[in-house]
């Protein structure tokens, strides 16, 4: 059973036509897959979409449609939400020291994905810094923008 850990750079591609959308959609329709999201990816997704409205890239109605579709798919079980534990937060210290070029959200993604390593999780992201760190941490990676 494939396990995919999505950050917001990959999640956004599910709901907008851009480079990498085809790959993300292909992963999400795989039979037996588990698509994992941390809670901050959801918040980041919402802010990315509303920023696109402010910048005039999409209409407010389009934004509401996208958010609604995400929420429906989430309730239908497309995504599995995983919460960090105290151990996750404590692990960020060592990761921040080992990967000083990562920002706090990237370190959190790496910490949570590393906890899922026994599942042979694949990190799906367009964030090259996160993917580089995940790869050196022994995780499988997919950059949907590299097709």
Is the pLDDT reported for residue 147 higher than 90?
no
Q: Residue 91: what pLDDT?
A: 96
- What are the pLDDT digits (tens) for 19-50? 999 999 999 999 999 999 999 999 999 999 99
Do 110 and 134 form a contact (C-beta atoms < 8 A)? yes
Share of the chain above pLDDT 70, in %: 99
Q: Which tens digits make up the pLDDT trace of 98-113?
A: 999 999 999 999 999 9
Residue where the block lists tokens 């105290």: 86
Q: Where are the domains of the chain?
A: 3-142
Q: In the chain, what percentage of residues exceed pLDDT 90?
A: 99
pTM as predicted: 0.95
For residues 5-20, give the mean pLDDT.
Answer: 97
pLDDT at 6 over 70: yes
Q: In angstroms, rounded to a whole number, what is the distance separating the alpha carbons of residues 6 and 105?
A: 13
The separation between CA 118 and the C-alpha centre of its own chain, rounded to angstroms, equals 18
pLDDT in tens, 57-97: 999 999 999 999 999 999 999 999 999 999 999 999 999 99
Class of the domain covering 3-142 = alpha beta
């Amino acid at each position: 059973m494939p396990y995919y850990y999505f950050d917001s750079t990959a999640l956004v591609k599910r709901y907008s036509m851009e480079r990498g959308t085809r790959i993300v959609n292909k992963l999400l329709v795989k039979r037996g897959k588990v698509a994992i999201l941390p809670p901050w990816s959801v918040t980041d997704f919402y802010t990315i979409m509303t920023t696109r409205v402010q910048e005039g890239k999409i209409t407010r109605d389009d934004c509401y449609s996208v958010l609604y579709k995400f929420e429906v798919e989430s309730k239908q079980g497309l995504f599995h939400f995983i919460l960090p534990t105290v151990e996750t937060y404590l692990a960020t210290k060592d990761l921040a020291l080992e990967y000083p070029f990562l920002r706090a959200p990237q370190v959190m993604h790496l910490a949570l994905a590393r906890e899922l390593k026994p599942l042979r999780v694949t990190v799906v992201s367009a964030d090259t810094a996160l993917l580089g760190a995940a790869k050196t941490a022994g995780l499988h990676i997919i950059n949907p923008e590299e097709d």
